A and B are shown apart, each in its own frame.
Chain A
Amino acid sequence: MRGSAAWWLAWQTPGAAAVPLVLALTVYVIGWRRLRRQDAKRWSGFRLCSFIVGLGVMAIAIWSPIDVMGQWLLSAHMSQHLLLAMVAPPLVLLGNPFSPLLAGVPRWMSKDFFGPILGWPFFQHVAQRLVHPAVAGPLFIVMSWGWHLPFAYEWALTSDAAHAFEHACFFWTGVCFWWPVVQPWPWKSIVPRWVIVPYLLAADVANTLLAAIFAFAPGVVYATYRDTSPALGVDALQDQQVAAAIMWLPGSLIYLIPAVVILVQALSPKRLTKTISLPLLQQPRARKRWNVVRVPLLGAVLQNATARNSIRWCMFLLAALVVADGFLGPNEAATNLAGTWPWTHWRGVAAVSLVLAGNVACLGCPLIAPRNLLRQWIRPKNRWPNWLRGKWVVAAILVIWLMAYEAFGWWNSPVMTAWLLVGLVAAATVVDLIFQGSSFCQWLCPIGQWNMSMSMASPIQVGVLDPDICTRCTTHDCLRGGPKGPGCGTNIFLPRKVGSLDCTACMDCVTACPHDNAGAGLVVPFHEIAPETVRSSIGKWIERTDLVALLLVLECGAIVNAILMTAPVANELDTVLPSWPRAAVVALVTLLGMVLCATPIGVAAAIGGWQRCEPVKQRLARLVMDLWPIGASLWLVHFGFHLVTGWKSALPPLQRAAMESEWVDLGEPAWAANCCATSPDWLVPVMLCALGGALCISLQLLWNRAANASATTLLRQVVRWCVDAIVAILWWSVSVWIVLQPMQMRGLLP
Chain B
Amino acid sequence: MRHQSQILVSIVSLAIAAAKCLGDGGVPIAAMDVNGHRCTLIMSPATPEIGPVSFTLLGRSDLPAMLYLQPSPSATPIGHPMVTDARTPGVHVQTQFTDVGPCQVWIEFGDPSGTSPRVELFVNAAPPAWQVFIPWIFCWIPLAGLLAVRAGVVRSTNYTSAMRGTE
Contacts and interface: CB of A to CB of B under 8 A. Distances in A.
A61 interface: yes
A668 interface: no
Interface string B1-13: 1111111111111
A187 B7 contact: yes
Given A231-B38, A707-B151, A740 B4 contact: no
A62 B1 contact: no
A632 to B, nearest CB: 15
Sorting the interface of chain A by its residue count into under 10, 10 to 19, 20 to 34 or 35 or more gives 35 or more
B86 A685 contact: no
Interface stretch (A166-174, A364-372, A439-447, A477-485): A166-174
A249 interface: no
Given A172-B15, A282-B2, A114 B9 contact: yes
Contacts of B138: 692
B162 interface: no
Interface in B127-167: 129-130, 133, 135-140, 143-144, 146-147, 149-155, 157
B48 interface: no
B24 interface: yes
B5 A231 contact: no
A696 B144 contact: yes
Contacts of A227: 28, 31, 38, 40
Contacts of B25: 158-160, 163
Given A231-B38, A231-B39, A699 B24 contact: no
B22 interface: yes
B166 to A, nearest CB: 17
Nearest to B135: A161
B13 A27 contact: yes
A696 B143 CA distance: 7
A158 B42 CA distance: 11
A341 interface: no
Given A7-B87, A696-B140, A168 B9 contact: no
Interface string B56-95: 0011011000000000000000000000101111100000
Contact of B38 (A84, A160, A162, A230): A230
Contacts of A166: 23
Contact of B136 (A61, A167, A175, A689): A689
Nearest to A282: B2
A102 B59 CA distance: 50
Given A6-B86, A7-B89, A689-B136, A21 B17 contact: yes
A158 B22 CA distance: 12
Contacts of A116: 149-150, 153-154, 157
Contact of B143 (A158, A171, A693, A741): A693
Contacts of B146: 113, 117
Given A72-B58, A101-B9, A224-B28, A186 B23 contact: no
Interface in A135-160: 156-160
Interface in B20-37: 20-28, 31, 37
Which of A61, A156, A692 has the largest count of B CB atoms less than 10 A from its CB? A692
A421 B139 CA distance: 40
Contacts of B11: 127, 175
Which of A12, A19, A128, A696 has the largest count of B CB atoms less than 10 A from its CB? A696
A691 B135 CA distance: 13
A198 interface: no
A282 B3 CA distance: 11
B1 A119 contact: yes
A128 B4 contact: yes
Contacts of B24: 67-68, 70-71, 160, 163
A688 B139 contact: yes
A397 interface: no
B46 interface: yes
A113 B154 CA distance: 10
Contacts of B90: 231
Contact of B23 (A10, A160, A230, A231): A160
A106 to B, nearest CB: 13
A699 B5 CA distance: 25
Sorting the interface of chain B by its residue count into under 10, 10 to 19, 20 to 34 or 35 or more gives 35 or more
B88 A7 contact: yes
Interface string A679-710: 00000110011011101100110011001000
A123 B8 contact: yes
Given A231-B90, A232-B89, A281-B5, A684 B136 contact: yes
Contacts of A704: 151
Contacts of A513: none
B82 to A, nearest CB: 14
Contacts of B153: 116-117, 119-120
Contacts of A318: none
A317 interface: no
A231 B40 contact: yes
A67 to B, nearest CB: 7
A61 B18 CA distance: 11
Contact of B5 (A1, A118, A230): A118
A119 B149 CA distance: 10
Contact of B140 (A1, A12, A175, A693): A693
A279 interface: yes
A10 to B, nearest CB: 4
A17 B58 contact: no
A280 B2 contact: yes
A187 B3 contact: yes
Contacts of A358: none
Interface in A88-127: 92, 97-99, 101-102, 105, 110, 113-120, 123-124, 127
Contact of B10 (A3, A17, A97, A123): A97
A110 B9 contact: yes
A474 interface: no
Contact of A113 (B4, B150, B155): B150
A685 B133 contact: yes
A245 interface: no
Given A119-B1, A128-B4, A688-B133, A168 B19 contact: yes
A228 interface: yes
Interface string A1-14: 11110110011100
Which of B4, B12, B59, B146 has the largest count of A CB atoms less than 10 A from its CB? B4
A740 B9 contact: no
Nearest to A689: B139
Given A7-B89, A228-B40, A231-B40, A117 B13 contact: no
A491 B153 CA distance: 41
Contact of B26 (A71, A168, A707, A740): A71
Contacts of A20: 13, 16-17, 20
B86 A10 contact: yes
Given A72-B58, A281-B2, A171 B21 contact: yes
Nearest to A122: B149
Nearest to A167: B21
A688 to B, nearest CB: 4
A494 to B, nearest CB: 31
A158 B6 CA distance: 38
Contact of A688 (B7, B13, B136): B136
Nearest to A184: B7
B89 A692 contact: no
B23 A159 contact: yes
A16 interface: yes
A688 B137 contact: yes
A175 B21 CA distance: 15
A228 B42 contact: yes
Nearest to B156: A120
Interface of B: 1-28, 31, 37-40, 42, 46, 58-59, 61-62, 84, 86-90, 129-130, 133, 135-140, 143-144, 146-147, 149-155, 157
Given A120-B149, A187-B7, 4 more contacts: A20-B16, A65-B88, A115-B5, A117-B149
5 contacts: A17-B22, A20-B16, A116-B157, A164-B23, A228-B40
Q: Which 7 A-B pairs have the closest CB atoms?
A: A163-B23, A692-B140, A231-B58, A167-B21, A118-B5, A230-B38, A98-B6
